[in-house]
Amino acid sequence: MSRPLRVLHVASECAPFAKTGGLGDVVGSLPAAQRAQGVDVRVVLPLYRGIDWNAQERLPYTLVVPMGGTTGYCAVRRGHMAHSDAPIYFLEHHRYYDRGGIYGDSRGEFGDNLERFAFLCRAAFALCRAEQFVPDILHAHDWQAALVPVYANTIEWGTEYHGCATVLTVHNLGYQGLFSPSSLPVTGLGREHLNDQEFEHFGALNLLKAGLHHADRISTVSPTYAREMQRPEHGAGLDGVIRARQGKLLGVLNGVDTVVWNPSTDPRIAARYDRDDLRGKAICKEALQRELGLPVRPEVPLYAVVSRLTEQKGLDVLLSILPTLLEWDLQLVVLGTGDPALERGFEIASRQRGDKVRAVLRFDDGMAHRIEAGADFFLMPSRYEPCGMNQMYSMRYGTIPIVHATGGLADTVWNYDERTGDGTGFVMEHLGPRALHDVLGWAQWAYFHRPEHIDRMRRRGMEQPFGWDRSAAMYLRLYHEAYQSRRGHPFFG
């Protein structure tokens, strides 16, 4: 009798339970697609504050988790993923996870993040033991889970978990989990691992680097980023490490959760619509202008940003040309939090030019949906973008993305051709104030002078197949490769 492939995802985010960005979206939606493919897929996540504890079933055991020099204990609650019966296990450790943020709070990053996420990784193995679940594949996401492939090769040497094949997905090379080398004992690993193949990196302890070294297969979230990350400009100091493992690396474009991001069923927006009938979109635009306190003008183009406000996202470039843009007939809404200088810049513009700009400085999932539905254009001038989710959400909502051709943005947005009206968005080959000014001018021109092209681009964007089917199939192939290389034979079930 054949059995399904068993997969455990280990991650620090999973929508809708805990999300700060695209990582949460992916871990929240890929497992449902894998379940539909017949995979026995499960997820383990810290039980953060804000997750509805009582809605999750408390399991009848306590995990005993060896930590460097001490022992940690945690209870486990089990629930299931949104729109799927795939189980999710929550690690209930109040001291680590019952806090006012996932990685930090208003005072900055938590000082014990190494301990908090080393615990997640070691507890993942303890959980498997308690559940008598031996995964064929351990799928770790980002630096927070990067110790999983390391432990499979070290601490689990000689146990049945040594046979688990490991896949590490890099959602953003800009976050590597850097700590002081003197904190290595927190991981439970000995000093022999502080070498330049594993953890040591320019004098720091680098968790992602060790994970990249130990994982059987590495993936990242778009084909273009898989190429870019091997070059110094986008390698964030790890390009050499990644080049060394080039043959084990695959770029798999993120899929979209087509249940959550669907304008024909979305309960968060003012009116539903689809590509055959866009009248609801005009209602959403009016409702958004009203909600934001902007003049209700159907004819003016409404540009939007929903983003973490960080250097990566290139919004400083937008801010630098804002005075010029505000001479044009347009409106702009920015929803985001992050860098205080950027927050201040958009806040000031919002106060001075309330007739054209609105900055909403918070994390607000419902508003992100209302913006996608109500806007005409969506701006992503990212310096680099491993995949990017919002350009795809925008297209699904008939909102035209304006992007820098990098990473997943280059893989998903097809540039406008003003002769034919082809394309799904506006693409800048290079990012700078001049280029951004010009591409926005081009979008303004098309909006006012080629409305039939704009209309066709909206509908074309709405037709793009951004669901998980193809990408989940690519992950499945990667899992089989990882299994074969770990075990020396194919998975027969």
Stretch that binds ligand ADP, among 21-29, 93-101, 113-121, 457-465 (CB under 6 A): 21-29
Of 239 and 343, which has the nearer Cβ to ligand ADP?
A: 343
Among the listed residues 308, 456, 459, 480, the single contact to ligand ADP using CB under 6 A: 308
Residues 466, 411 contacting (CB under 8 angstroms):
no
Extended strands (E) in 448-489 = none
Stretch that binds ligand ADP, among 143-151, 236-244, 306-314, 409-417 (CB under 6 A): 306-314
286-to-367, 396, 422 alpha-carbon distances in Å: 14, 19, 28
Residues contacting 279, CB < 8 A, separation 6+: 271, 273
Among the listed residues 13, 18, 25, 91, the single contact to ligand ADP using CB under 6 A: 25
Residues 205, 199 contacting (CB under 8 angstroms):
yes
109-to-72, 310, 358 alpha-carbon distances in Å: 22, 15, 28
Of 185 and 340, which has the nearer Cβ to ligand ADP?
A: 340
Of 22 and 31, which has the nearer Cβ to ligand ADP?
A: 22
Of 140 and 403, which has the nearer Cβ to ligand ADP?
A: 403
* Pairing state between β 249-251 and 302-309: unpaired
Stretch that binds ligand ADP, among 280-288, 304-312, 446-454, 475-483 (CB under 6 A): 304-312
Task: Find the binding residues for ligand ADP in span 168-207 (CB under 6 A).
Answer: 172
Minimal distance, residue 346 CB to ligand ADP, in Å: 12
Looking at beta carbons, which residue is closest to ligand ADP? 22
3-class SS of residue 333: strand
Of 220 and 307, which has the nearer Cβ to ligand ADP?
A: 307
Minimal distance, residue 351 CB to ligand ADP, in Å: 19
Instruction: Output the CA torsion sign for 435, 437, 442, 446.
Output: positive
The answer to whether residue 22 forms part of the interface with ligand ADP (CB under 6 A) is: yes
Minimal distance, residue 306 CB to ligand ADP, in Å: 5
Residue that is written with structure tokens 């820098």 in the block: 404
Minimal distance, residue 62 CB to ligand ADP, in Å: 34
Of 320 and 337, which has the nearer Cβ to ligand ADP?
A: 337
Identify the CA nearest to 118 among candidates 223, 198, 195, 12.
12
Minimal distance, residue 317 CB to ligand ADP, in Å: 16
Minimal distance, residue 196 CB to ligand ADP, in Å: 29
Of 43 and 368, which has the nearer Cβ to ligand ADP?
A: 368
Minimal distance, residue 11 CB to ligand ADP, in Å: 13
Minimal distance, residue 335 CB to ligand ADP, in Å: 5
Minimal distance, residue 244 CB to ligand ADP, in Å: 26
Residues contacting 176, CB < 8 A, separation 6+: 143, 201, 206, 207, 208, 209, 236, 237, 238
Q: What residue type is 20 in one-letter code?
A: T
Q: Rounded CA gap, 337 and 334, in Å?
A: 10
Q: Rounded CA gap, 491 and 5, in Å?
A: 8
Q: Rounded CA gap, 456 and 454, in Å?
A: 5
Stretch that binds ligand ADP, among 20-28, 85-93, 109-117, 135-143 (CB under 6 A): 20-28
DSSP letter for each residue of 175-193: ---EE-GGGGGGGT--GGG
Tell me the Ramachandran region of residue 276: left when phi exceeds 0, alpha when psi lies from -120 to 50, beta otherwise. alpha
Stretch that binds ligand ADP, among 17-25, 49-57, 278-286, 420-428 (CB under 6 A): 17-25
Of 365 and 429, which has the nearer Cβ to ligand ADP?
A: 365
Q: Rounded CA gap, 291 and 288, in Å?
A: 5
Task: Find the binding residues for ligand ADP in span 332-391 (CB under 6 A).
Answer: 335-337, 363-365, 368, 387-390
Size of the site for ligand ADP (CB under 6 A): 18
Stretch that binds ligand ADP, among 142-150, 242-250, 287-295, 301-309 (CB under 6 A): 301-309
- Report residue 321 as tokens: 């040309």
Three-state SS string over 40-108 comes to EEEEEEECCCCCCHHHCEEEEEEEEEEECCEEEEEEEEEEECCCCCCEEEEEECHHHHCCCCCCEECCE
Of 87 and 388, which has the nearer Cβ to ligand ADP?
A: 388
Among the listed residues 12, 29, 187, 307, the single contact to ligand ADP using CB under 6 A: 307
Minimal distance, residue 64 CB to ligand ADP, in Å: 34
Contact positions vs ligand ADP (CB under 6 A): 21-22, 25, 172, 306-308, 335-337, 363-365, 368, 387-390
